[in-house]
Amino acid sequence: MKIAVLGSGAWGTALAVSFAPRHQVTLWARDAHRVEAMRSSRQNQRYLPDITLPAELKLSADLDEVLAGVELVIVAVPVAALRSTLQQIASRFPLAVEFPAVIWVCKGFESGTSQLPHQIVTETLPASFPRGVLSGPSFAQEVARSLPTALTLASGDGEFAQSTAKALHHSRLRIYSSTDVVGVEIGGAIKNVLAIAAGICDGMHMGLNARAALLTRGLAEMTRLGLQMGGHAETLGGLSGVGDLILTCTGDLSRNRQVGMLLAQGKSLATILDELGHVAEGVYTAREVHCIAAQRGVEMPICEAVYRVLYENLAVGKAVEALLSRQPGSEFMG
């Protein structure tokens, strides 16, 4: 299969590296200087410096060249850049019948619109072409090193989800199919906010019991919002829900967890983001979740606490105190 991966960040590069031995893959970056540097060093020094890019992986900054004759486009840019990237793709295919299949791998809500990625896709690209979301518990570094990983590919077209998952699946990257696009996207978005909370918990040395409670109650929040928005409970209890939640809230490679740990040390958000040098989607997702939960009347106290720490300058200690002082109720009613 001829595949174009748009976006040379850690995740886009990792997927390109993983698929290149089995497919004809080109990795696109908008910066021609970065592409030339990757060509000469066979490494992505900024995002995956310890990974050697396979010889068969092509690199290009020419989008027309990358999209020529392509069968599958994997859009691996942050949510903030999804709409503009999709518009660039659409401009190259004026005839809807020529449009390639598109998969996106970003996680979160669009700032300002609070839209999930599939809603942006619906507004931007023709309705007739196959599309889907690829998500699940996955650190880019481990995928690039061919360590075993399992993901979910969800599409409203179940046949497309199954056939594409089968085509991309290999022994080190297991891909399951689903038709629950909303559930997969909600799980991928909310877990990043909860990972910030988990980082605060760990940074304040509150213990493993507290972390377990946080993850479990966080899953309840994720599920409440997911069901309210049309997702399925089994999806949120699967790879793209609880699986991604566990990984992101406990793994040291999680950027969102790092944000929480640094907040617990008293660092400002601006300083933290500058130090990370990578996008931490949970920071932006927290703001949109705050708006969506309020509009839909969904109780999400952990996500709300993260929002207040990030955007209302609430001290982390006070945020934790407020959560711990909440009156307990029925476990499965709120």
Distances (CA, A) of 121 to 17, 133, 225, 282, 292: 25, 10, 21, 21, 19
Residues with Cβ within 8 Å of 91's Cβ and at least 6 positions away in sequence, in order, are none
> Encoding tokens for residue 28?
């696109």
User: Does 166 participate in catalysis according to the annotation?
Assistant: no
> Encoding tokens for residue 193?
């906010």
Show the 3-state SS of 260-317: HHHHHCCCCHHHHHHHHCCCCHHHHHHHHHHHHHHHHCCCCHHHHHHHHHHHCCCCHH
Contact in structure between 27 and 56 (CB atoms under 8 Å): no
3-state secondary structure at position 47: coil
**Whole-angstrom distance, CA of residue 68 vs CA of residue 111:** 31
Q: Which of 107, 191, 267, 318 is catalytic?
A: 191
**Which amino acid would we find at residue 169?**
H
Torsion angles phi and psi, residue 93, rounded to 5: -130, 75
Q: Helices 181-203 and 301-311, interaxial angle, to 10°?
A: 60
- Nearest to 231, CA basis, from 296, 137, 283: 296
Task: Give catalytic residues, as residue numbers.
Answer: 191
